[in-house]
Amino acid sequence: MGFPKNFLWGGATAANQYEGAYNVDGRGLANVDLLPAGEDRRAVVCGEKKMFDFQDGYFYPAMNAIDGYHRYKEDMALFAEMGFKTYRMSISWTRIFPNGDEEMPNEKGLKYYEDVFKECKKYNIEPLVTISHFDVPMYLVEKYGSWRSREMIGFFEKYCRTILTRYKGLVKYWLVFNEINMILHAPFMGAGLYIGDLDEKEAERVKYQAAHHELVANALAVKIAHEIDSENQVGCMLAGGKHYPYSCDPNDVLVSQLRDREDYFFSDVQARGEYPSYMLRKFEREGIQVDFEEEDIEILKENTVDFISFSYYMSRVGTANPEIAEQTTGNVFDSVKNPYLPSSEWGWQIDPVGMRVILVELYDRYQKPLFVVENGLGVNDIPDSEGNINDDERINYLTDHMKAMKDAIDLDGVPVMGYTMWGCIDIVSAGSGEMKKRYGFIYVDRDNLGNGTLKRTKKKSFDWYKKVIASNGEIL
């Protein structure tokens, strides 16, 4: 028993946090380029503060990120040295269609990813490709209001058809939207939605309308992927993490269940092919008018995902009495603090058992294969006087989470396809915009303000993960 023989061990990054080169080779501007570092970031991320262009006095970390655009060969060689079976990465939409609505794609962008995938193949690394890791062309944000407009579906469809055709034979594992449920919590970062000028009710309507368009676009991406190559396997991708009831007060249990549904709504549609009754009732009750076209029902029904992928960093807590409990942070999901769990430097609660809990829950709910596509610990790693980075805290975190994943496989019989550790090389943090929130097995010499040589250095966890992969998880 243990991990299946063909288990896909690897690591994950996203274009906007890794590549930099924001204006190179014809790339257009995207929402994710415009998330500033510093205290205004959260308001921009959440669509409350409008920032549709670079503004003086701000630092934009995604502009240059860790320059992966020019250094991917060096990085891939390091991933291969660790023995990666898979590498999760994303395509930047605006490298392919700089404005989003062009007739013809940008050949330089297409060629770039072709080279990256060929580099993966050179080392027998299977690419796992996210089609949209939060990015939306700014031109479409300004002209159409991003995903609130139905026209986005057509632009996205074209983008999908272009890349799925071009990379046929090079890529077979695809994820459509990264953390699709993020649209409700971080609408500008997650989906290019600025809602700062709307009242609460209208903002809610816009988010659900945009979510509907993304769900239809997701189904169409699945359809196109299957038509182009029957080998293609497409997954949905959810920001995962269950809400535990703060106490056994039935009201806390109910609140936690209702909070979970805000996340599962998305995967329910993507995996089961129809809107769950609880969401239709919510729309009715709260007067949320979401426009559907007649064809949507059939498109959603006929094009469900092949597998369920998710990120898991922490569990959350729900209570009917939030005033009595201490709050904590976690990405953009604020939650009640769980008194049984320790927290990371950034206040993210550490809960390895929750990995098994979410795996079991998602498999019980969907009976589709699962893929853990993000998990990891952000730490401010500081090299010692000899330049070594002894990241034992990260090793312990990962060991505990991998053991829990193994339990889900061994003891619960959950089919898990693979595991891609988040930020396998240090990249810009999506939530905080900081560089010092590091996740990697590989240290990158760059600070929060973009200073540094960008030199890559192996951390202690590098050799540890190499052994994990070589033993197929037996050394844990």
Q: Where are the alpha helices (DSSP H) in 83-199?
A: 93-96, 107-122, 138-144, 151-166, 187-191
| Residues catalogued as catalytic | 179, 374
Candidate list 233, 303, 311, 315; residue touching ligand BG6; CB under 6 A: 311
| Ramachandran angles phi, psi of 5, nearest 5° | -60, -40
Q: How far is the CB of 290 from ligand BG6 (least distance, A)?
A: 25
Cβ nearer to ligand BG6, comparing 344 with 390:
344
Query: Which of positions 163-222 make contact with ligand BG6 (CB under 6 A)?
Result: 178-179
Candidate list 422, 441, 462, 464; residue touching ligand BG6; CB under 6 A: 422
Nearest to 61 by CA among 32, 29, 98, 30: 32
Binding of residue 92 to ligand BG6 (CB under 6 A): no
Residues 191 and 214: their CA atoms lie apart, in Å, by 9
Cβ nearer to ligand BG6, comparing 303 with 335:
335
Cβ nearer to ligand BG6, comparing 3 with 313:
313
Per CB under 6 A, which region of 148-156, 360-368, 426-434, 444-452 contacts ligand BG6?
426-434
Site string for ligand BG6, 338-377 (x = CB under 6 A): ------------------------------------x---
Per CB under 6 A, which region of 38-46, 86-94, 387-395, 429-437 contacts ligand BG6?
429-437
Residues 312 and 241: their CA atoms lie apart, in Å, by 6
| Ramachandran angles phi, psi of 372, nearest 5° | -85, 105
Nearest to 389 by CA among 464, 339, 449: 464
Q: How far is the CB of 390 from ligand BG6 (least distance, A)?
A: 21
Binding of residue 429 to ligand BG6 (CB under 6 A): yes
Q: How far is the CB of 431 from ligand BG6 (least distance, A)?
A: 3
Candidate list 181, 270, 375, 432; residue touching ligand BG6; CB under 6 A: 432
> 327 forms bridges with which residues in the sheet?
336
Nearest to 458 by CA among 389, 402, 362: 389
Q: How far is the CB of 242 from ligand BG6 (least distance, A)?
A: 16
Query: Which of positions 98-117 make contact with ligand BG6 (CB under 6 A)?
Result: none
Burial of 453 (0-12, 13-18, 19+ CB in 10 A): exposed
Q: Are 96 and 136 in contact (CB under 8 A)?
A: no
Q: CB within 8 A of 56, min separation 6: which ones?
A: none
Cβ nearer to ligand BG6, comparing 246 with 422:
422
Q: What is the DSSP letter of 99?
A: S
Query: Which of positions 238-257 make contact with ligand BG6 (CB under 6 A)?
Result: 239
Site string for ligand BG6, 250-289 (x = CB under 6 A): ----------------------------------------
Binding of residue 335 to ligand BG6 (CB under 6 A): no
Q: How far is the CB of 422 from ligand BG6 (least distance, A)?
A: 6
Q: Is 127 helix (H, G, I), strand (E, B) or coil?
A: strand
Task: Return the number of other C-beta atoms located less than 10 Å from residue 232's C-beta.
Answer: 19
Per CB under 6 A, which region of 164-172, 259-267, 424-432, 466-474 contacts ligand BG6?
424-432
Q: How far is the CB of 179 from ligand BG6 (least distance, A)?
A: 5
Residues 444 and 94: their CA atoms lie apart, in Å, by 25
Binding of residue 424 to ligand BG6 (CB under 6 A): no
| Ramachandran angles phi, psi of 419, nearest 5° | -145, 120
Residues in contact with ligand BG6, total (CB under 6 A)? 15
Angle at which helices 107-122 and 68-82 pack, to 10 degrees?
20
Q: Are 456 and 75 in contact (CB under 8 A)?
A: yes
Binding of residue 444 to ligand BG6 (CB under 6 A): no
| Ramachandran angles phi, psi of 103, nearest 5° | -70, -50
Beta strands 307-312 and 86-90: pairing type? Answer: unpaired
Residues 333 and 335: their CA atoms lie apart, in Å, by 6
Q: What is the DSSP letter of 109?
A: H
Cβ nearer to ligand BG6, comparing 280 with 382:
382
> Minimal CB distance to ligand BG6: which residue?
431
Cβ nearer to ligand BG6, comparing 110 with 180:
180
Per CB under 6 A, which region of 34-42, 83-91, 423-431, 465-473 contacts ligand BG6?
423-431
Q: How far is the CB of 151 from ligand BG6 (least distance, A)?
A: 26
Nearest to 217 by CA among 303, 281, 282, 309: 303
Binding of residue 437 to ligand BG6 (CB under 6 A): yes
Tokens of 331: 């990405």
Binding of residue 430 to ligand BG6 (CB under 6 A): yes
Beta strands 335-336 and 126-132: pairing type? Answer: unpaired
Q: Are 362 and 308 in contact (CB under 8 A)?
A: yes
Candidate list 86, 92, 331, 375; residue touching ligand BG6; CB under 6 A: 331
Candidate list 14, 221, 425, 469; residue touching ligand BG6; CB under 6 A: 14
Task: Return the number of other C-beta atoms located less than 10 Å from residue 287's C-beta.
Answer: 9
Where on the chain is the footprint of ligand BG6 (CB under 6 A)? 14, 17, 178-179, 239, 311, 331, 374, 378, 422, 429-432, 437
